[in-house]
Structure 1
Amino acid sequence: MTGIRPLTAHRHRSGVLLTGALCLTLAAGWAVHHGIQAAQYGHHSSRLAVVWATTFLLLATQTVMYHCERPRRVTPRARRQLDALHVAVLLPVYNEDPGYLRLGLESFLAQTRRPTSVHVVDDGSTTGDYRLLRGWWLAAADAAGIATTWQRTPNGGKRHAQAAAARACPEADAYVTVDSDSCLAPNALEEILLPFARARVQSVAGIVLATNHRRNLLTRVTDLWFVTGQLTDRSALSATGAVLVNSGPLAAYRAPVVRDNLDSYLNERFLGRPVMFSDDSLLTLYALLRGSAVQQPTAVVFTALPERPSHFLRMYMRWMRGSTIRSVWRFRYLPLSGWAYWAHLLRWFQVALSTGVLGWLLIVEPIVYGRTPPATFLVVPFLVGWAQALRYLSVARSDERLWGRLVTWLLMPLAVIGAWTALRAARWYGVATCARTGWGTRQNGAEVTLDEAPAAALPDDDTVRMRIPVAKLLDPDTETTLTMPIPHQRTATPMHEGTAR
C-alpha cells in the first residue's frame, strides 16, 4: 500500500434538499399547466391534458418511491454471519490502463471488510501482459491474507473472463463483479453485502461515481446524468426490489445466481448471433428470476467515464442495443406477478409517450393546427431535471467541495438537451440496430488513462483531494432466431431474515 488516503464518498440526507425537490417539482407542475393554458390548444380543454396529467402522476410517484429507498442495516448477529461468507471478487481485464487497474487493486487492500479472494483474468490483452503489476499484486494480496489468482486466457470477451474467474473459486458464497477501472470506496464491500441478510435478495447494485468527472465538460455532464439516474430511477425500483440493471463497476450476487447459469450466460444468442455485451443486465435478470434485486446506496465505487464524444457514443449504443435485447428476455421470462415485469413495461411506455409527445408538439401542432408550444414549455424539462439532480448534491465526495458539485448541478440543462435530442435518437437507432452484438470499444488499447501527476491537496480539513500513485507498469513486450437458454430456476440455499447463510 502507498499510504495515500483513499478516495471516498457518502450520502447525506438533508431536509433542504427534500424541500427543494418538492418545490421545484411543484414549480414544474405549475409550468406545465401554464404552458397548456398559454398554448390554447382547445376551447375548453387541452388535447394533451391527459398526457400532462399522466406524466406528472408518473413523476410524482417516482419521486415518492425513490425517497422510500433506505440503505440496508443489519443486526450484529447478521453481520457476523455475513463476515463469515466467502466473498470472491471477479475482475476481468482487457487492454486496461495500468494506472486505473492498480488503483482498483489497491482499493481491495483498503477495504474495511476485505474480500476472501480476488480472481483476475487477463482476457488476452494486446497492449501488454501486466507482468510487473501482476507480481506486485500477488505479493500484496498474500501479505494482506487475500487468496488470489491471476490467469491470462485467449480473448473471448468479458463474460468468458468472468466465467473463468468464477470457476477459479467454486466454493464462494457470493461473487462481487467489478470492472478493471473500478476503485472501491473503503467500505464498499462491507456495505454491498448487507442486503444479503434478507433471504429474498439475490443481487445488490452499488452506486457508481466518476473518477475523472472533472476532466472536461462531457465527463461532468455524464457524471451528473449517470448519478442522478441511479439515485432516482434505480432507487425507485430498488424500493420495490425490482432493480433491472446492476452496475458493472460494482455489483454482488449470491453465488448460485452466477454458477447455475454459466452455460446460459456464455451462450446467449440474438438473431443467431452471440451477444457480447449487456452482461450486467443478464445477471440481474437471473437474480430477479430467483428473488429480488436491490441497490445499496452506501456502497460506492469510482470508475472512469468516456472523455471523448466518440467513446461515449460507442458505450451508449452498446447500452441501448443491450437494453433492447434484454427487453425481449424480460417480457418472455419475468413473471407477471412480480413488480419487475410491470416496471419494465412502464419504462417502455414512458419512452414511447415522451417521444410521441415531443413529435406532436414540434411537428403535428405547428403543421396541422398552426400552433407552436409557448416558450414556457421549454422550461419544464429543465425544472424537472434540476429537481431530480438535487439527488446528485446529496453525494459528498472527499475530493470535491459542495461548490464544485453545485457547478456541475447547474449543467443539468445540457444533460436534458442531450437526453431529448442526441440520446433519444441514439436510443431508437440502437433499437433498430440491436443485431449488432459486438463489444466495440478498447480494441486498440485503453481509451481513458490515469494522470501521473497527483492532484493538489485541499486545505487541512475534512475533505482531501485524491492523490494517485501510478507506476510505469506497461511491459514493452508487449439463422434468424431468438435463442436464450432458459435460466435455471433452482432456488438458492435458503437464507432467513437476519442471517447470512
Structure 2
Amino acid sequence: MTEVFPRQKPDRRFLPDIPSKQHTRRLTGPRYFSQGQADVYSADGKYRYTSGRTVDISEGGMLLVPDKPLRVGDKAVLRFFLSAGTMPEGFESFVKLPARVVRVDSASGHVGFEFANPLSQYLHRKRWRYFETGSLLGILLALIGVWFIKKESIFYFWFDVPVFLYGLCAIFYLLSRFFFAALYRPYKVTPGYQPSVTIVIPCFNEEEWIEKTIHGCLNQLYPEELLEVIVVDDGSSDNSVAVARAVRDKIYDEAGDRLVVHAFPENRGKRHALAAGARMAKGELVLFVDSDSFLQPDAVLHVVQPFHDPHIGGAAGRCEVENKWTNVLTRMQAVRYFIGFRIFKAAESIFDVVTCLSGPLACYRRTVLMRYLDAWESQTFLGRPATFGDDRSLTNFVLGSHYAVYQHTAVCNTIVPSTYGKFFTQQMRWKRSWLRESLRACKFMWLKEPFMAISFYLGLILPVMAPVVVLRAFVFMPAAYGIWPTMYLAGVLLMSILMCTSYLLLKRSNLWLYGVPFCFFYLFVLLWQIVWALLTFWKSEWGTRASKYDKSTAMG
C-alpha cells in the first residue's frame, strides 16, 4: 500500500536548518511536491486566462506549468484545490488567491507565482476561524449533553448499579483529563539553555524510512557541536545498514563525525539496541527516536527545555501521524494520537507524572538513564525477557525517583500501520505492555499526588472492567429485562463528539469527524482485545516485526 503524506521538496543542502547552514533556497518555508491543477484568472478574477499543472507549492507561492505563456510581473488570481496530503494537515481546501509572476523558466516552462498573502493567513480568514467557532459551540453542546446523561444516570442509578456506576466513573475520569489538559502549558524556551544531546535511533528492517529519520534528527535548529546521532541496527535482514552508511558518507562534509552507525552482527532486540546507543552516548541528554519517526526542525530545542528543572528525569514530545491521509484506518489513528498526547499526556504532565514517555520521541537525563539501564535492559516478567513495552517500562523506572513530563511543542511524525492486520497486532502488543507495566506502577503510584493517583488507578480499572460492563449493558440487560443501552450509547457518542470538537479546535482539520467512528470502533472491536491481553499478558513476541530474538524468547 502506498502511504500518503506531504512530500517535501529537497533543499540544496541536506541539512538546511541547522544554525550554521542557513544559506538555503527556501525563502518562503518548505516547498511540497504537488500534482494538481490550477486555473489562472485575470487580476480582477472575472475571466480565466489559462490553466496548468502544479509542480510544487509552499505557504508563499506556487510553481506552475501553464498552457499559455506568462511574463514576470503579471498579476492574476489563482484558483486551485489543495488535496489532502499535499501540504501539512489543515491546508486541504479550495483556494482562490491573488498572486503575481516572479519567475519564468523558458527551458522547463515553469512559472513561479508569489501569493499576495501567505496561505495560512488566507485559510484563517476563509476557513480556520469558522472551524474554531464551530468547535467551541460543539464542545459546549457536548458538555451540556454529558451533564444531561450524568443527571439521568444518577436518577436511574438503582435500576442497574454496575453499568451506571461504571458510566459515572468513566465520565468523571474523561472530563478530568480534558479539564487538566486545558490547564496545561508547554515549557518555554529558556535563552542560552542548550545541553548536549545524543539521539539514539534503534533500527530493524527500516530501509524505506531510515534516511528520512536520520535527516530529521540531524537537521535541527540546534548547535551542531552539541548534537550527535547514533544509529544502532539490530541485525536487519534488509538494506537498512547500507542505507544508513550511505547517508553518513553523503553528508560527511556537512555533519562530520556527528553521525555514527553501529550494527549488531545478529538480532538482539530493540531494548538492547537502545541500551547500546545509550552507552555510546556523550550528551547530557539522550533522546530516543524510532526509526520510522521524523523530527520537526525545532524538536530538539523544545524537548530539552523541561530539563532546566533538575527534578525532571524524562520528557516526551508530541507524536503526529505522518501517513494520516492513506486510508480510513490511518485517519482514525491521527485523531487518536493527537488526543492521546494533547489531552491525556498533557493532563498527566500537570502532575509531572506522564505514565509513558512514548518511543517515537522520548528524552532522558543521561545520569538517570544510566542508573536504571542495566535493570531495564535485563527486565523479565514471569521468567521471560520483556521484549516490548520498552518506553512504558523505562518510564516506570524514571518515575521511581524523578518527574516525567510532556512537551507539546516538541513534535515528530511517525508512520502508523495502514493495514488492519498490523494494526491489531500492534494494539495487542501495546495492551499487554500496558497491563504489565501498569501493574508495576501500582506499587508506587499511590505515593504521587492524590488526584493523579486516583486517576491512574481509575485508568487501570475502567478498561479492564469495560468488557464485562459492555456485555451486561448490551446482552444481559436487554435479554433479561428488555432494557436497551440507549444512555450508554449516547454517552459514548457525546464523549466522541467532545474529542472530535477538541481536535477541530486545535488542529482545524477535516479529520476531526474520524474521532466518532474511532470511538465506536474501539467499543465494538478494540475493546475485546483487553480480554485476550489479560489471558496472554505474559507473552513476549513483538508481533508486527517478529525477529529471531523475539521468536527465541517467546519459545523460552
What is the CA-CA distance between 1:146 and the residue it aligns to? 6.1
What is the CA-CA distance between 1:139 and the residue it aligns to? 4.3
CA deviations on 1:140-189 (whole Å, 9 max, x unpaired) are: 255135622111102100011111111212x3210000000111111111
Q: Which residue of 1 aligns with 2:219?
A: 110
Q: Which residue of 2 aligns with 1:97?
A: 207
Q: Which residue of 2 aligns with 1:64?
A: 179
What is the CA-CA distance between 1:284 and the residue it aligns to? 1.0
Q: Tell me how far apart the structure 2 counterparts of residues 23 and 194 of structure 1 sit (CA, whole Å).
A: 37
Larger proportion of strand:
2
1:2 alignment partner AA: P
Write the mapping of 1:57-206 to structure 2, written as runs, cut at 5 A. Answer: 57-76=172-191, 80=192, 82-83=193-194, 85-98=195-208, 100-113=209-222, 116-140=227-251, 143-144=254-255, 147-153=258-264, 154-169=266-281, 171-206=282-317
Q: Tell me how far apart the structure 2 counterparts of residues 360 and 306 of structure 1 sit (CA, whole Å).
A: 32
Q: Which residue of 2 aligns with 1:294?
A: 405
Q: Tell me how far apart the structure 2 counterparts of residues 124 and 206 of structure 1 sit (CA, whole Å).
A: 28
Q: Which residue of 2 aligns with 1:349?
A: 461
Write the mapping of 1:350-369 to structure 2, written as runs, cut at 5 A. Answer: 350-369=462-481
Q: Which residue of 2 aligns with 1:216?
A: 327
Asked if 2 retains the 8 angstrom alpha-carbon contact of 1:192 and 1:299, the reply is yes
Q: Which residue of 2 aligns with 1:265?
A: 376
1:89 alignment partner AA: I
Secondary structure at 1:167 match in 2: helix
1:253 alignment partner AA: Y
Flag the 1:318–1:141 CA change in 2: closer, same or farther, 3 A.
Answer: farther
From 147, 154, 165, the equivalent of 1:29 is 147
What is the CA-CA distance between 1:336 and the residue it aligns to? 2.3
CA deviations on 1:298-320 (whole Å, 9 max, x unpaired) are: 11100101011110011111101
Asked if 2 retains the 8 angstrom alpha-carbon contact of 1:175 and 1:252, the reply is yes
Q: Which residue of 2 aligns with 1:416?
A: 519
| Range that drifts further, 114-123 or 346-355 | 346-355
Q: Which residue of 1 aligns with 2:41?
A: none
Q: Tell me how far apart the structure 2 counterparts of residues 54 and 236 of structure 1 sit (CA, whole Å).
A: 17
CA deviations on 1:274-299 (whole Å, 9 max, x unpaired) are: 11000000111122112211111111
Flag the 1:444–1:287 CA change in 2: closer, same or farther, 3 A.
Answer: closer
Which structure has the bigger radius of gyration? Answer: 2
Secondary structure at 1:207 match in 2: strand
1:191 alignment partner AA: H
Asked if 2 retains the 8 angstrom alpha-carbon contact of 1:386 and 1:409, the reply is no
What is the CA-CA distance between 1:137 and the residue it aligns to? 2.3
Flag the 1:343–1:168 CA change in 2: closer, same or farther, 3 A.
Answer: same
Flag the 1:141–1:327 CA change in 2: closer, same or farther, 3 A.
Answer: farther
1:232 alignment partner AA: I
Q: Which residue of 1 aligns with 2:341?
A: 230
Q: Which residue of 1 aligns with 2:393?
A: 282
Asked if 2 retains the 8 angstrom alpha-carbon contact of 1:116 and 1:146, the reply is no
Q: Tell me how far apart the structure 2 counterparts of residues 20 and 201 of structure 1 sit (CA, whole Å).
A: 37
Secondary structure at 1:411 match in 2: helix
1:28 alignment partner AA: V
Identity of aligned residues (%): 27
1:64 alignment partner AA: F
Flag the 1:420–1:22 CA change in 2: closer, same or farther, 3 A.
Answer: same
Flag the 1:363–1:129 CA change in 2: closer, same or farther, 3 A.
Answer: closer
From 333, 336, 351, the equivalent of 1:240 is 351
What is the CA-CA distance between 1:382 and the residue it aligns to? 1.7
CA deviations on 1:316-369 (whole Å, 9 max, x unpaired) are: 111011111112221234452445644331212322454443233223322333
CA deviations on 1:27-62 (whole Å, 9 max, x unpaired) are: 23324545887xx7868x978655444443333322
2:181 alignment partner AA: Y
What is the CA-CA distance between 1:199 and the residue it aligns to? 1.9
Asked if 1 retains the 8 angstrom alpha-carbon contact of 2:386 and 2:540, the reply is yes
Q: Tell me how far apart the structure 1 counterparts of residues 277 and 164 of structure 2 sit (CA, whole Å).
A: 54
Q: Tell me how far apart the structure 1 counterparts of residues 420 and 255 of structure 2 sit (CA, whole Å).
A: 40
Secondary structure at 1:261 match in 2: helix
What is the CA-CA distance between 1:17 and the residue it aligns to? 4.2
Asked if 1 retains the 8 angstrom alpha-carbon contact of 2:232 and 2:277, the reply is yes
What is the CA-CA distance between 1:119 and the residue it aligns to? 0.5
Flag the 1:196–1:60 CA change in 2: closer, same or farther, 3 A.
Answer: same
Secondary structure at 2:179 match in 1: helix
